[in-house]
């Protein structure tokens, strides 16, 4: 998919949300400013979250109530999957997990991969794939 603005990136996330199921994990990859948080806001909106969605950079994890509970993680400050697991990542029940800076989590992960590539000032290429 090609997004031409942060609003369109957010709408892409909102469009994906109805397809998500309880237990899904979204792994977001991309450089700083690539649109990960805008996409996360859209997923949250699409899940019926009405509270403001903020990047969990310093909190590591934020939780939001919606049609499905959303657990929003930021792995930027983590040293790998072990530190992510130490946040209670595997102990969640009922909902969707979304992880920004997935490249910090290592390679032993599974779920839905969302890759953001900056292709212009506000243009982003967004690719989805399944991780085993």
Query: CA–CA distance from 111 to each of 57, 118, 128, 129 (Å)?
Result: 21, 23, 11, 9
- Please say whether the beta carbons of 93 and 76 come within 8 A: no
Domain ranges of the chain: 2-131
pTM of the model: 0.89
The CATH label, of 3.40.50.300, 3.30.70.260, 3.40.640.10, 3.40.50.720, for the domain at 2-131 is 3.40.50.300
Confidence at residue 78, expressed as pLDDT on a 0 to 100 scale: 72
Dihedral of alpha carbons 128, 44, 70, 119, sign:
positive
- Average pLDDT per consecutive 10 residues, the chain (132 residues; last block may be shorter): 96 97 94 95 96 79 91 81 73 86 82 96 95 79
Confidence at residue 17, expressed as pLDDT on a 0 to 100 scale: 97
Confidence at residue 58, expressed as pLDDT on a 0 to 100 scale: 64
């Amino acid at each position: 998919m090609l997004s031409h603005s942060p609003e369109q990136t957010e709408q892409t996330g909102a469009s994906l949300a109805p397809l998500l199921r309880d237990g899904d994990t979204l792994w977001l990859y991309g450089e700083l400013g690539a649109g990960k948080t805008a996409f996360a806001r859209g997923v949250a909106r699409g899940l019926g979250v009405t509270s403001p969605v903020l990047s969990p950079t310093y909190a590591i994890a934020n939780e939001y109530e919606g049609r499905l509970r959303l657990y929003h993680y930021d792995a930027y400050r983590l040293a790998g999957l072990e530190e992510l697991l130490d946040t209670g990542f595997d102990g969640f029940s009922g909902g969707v997990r979304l992880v920004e800076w997935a490249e910090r989590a290592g390679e032993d992960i599974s779920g839905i991969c969302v890759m953001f590539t900056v292709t212009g000032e506000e243009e982003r290429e967004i690719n989805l794939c399944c991780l085993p």
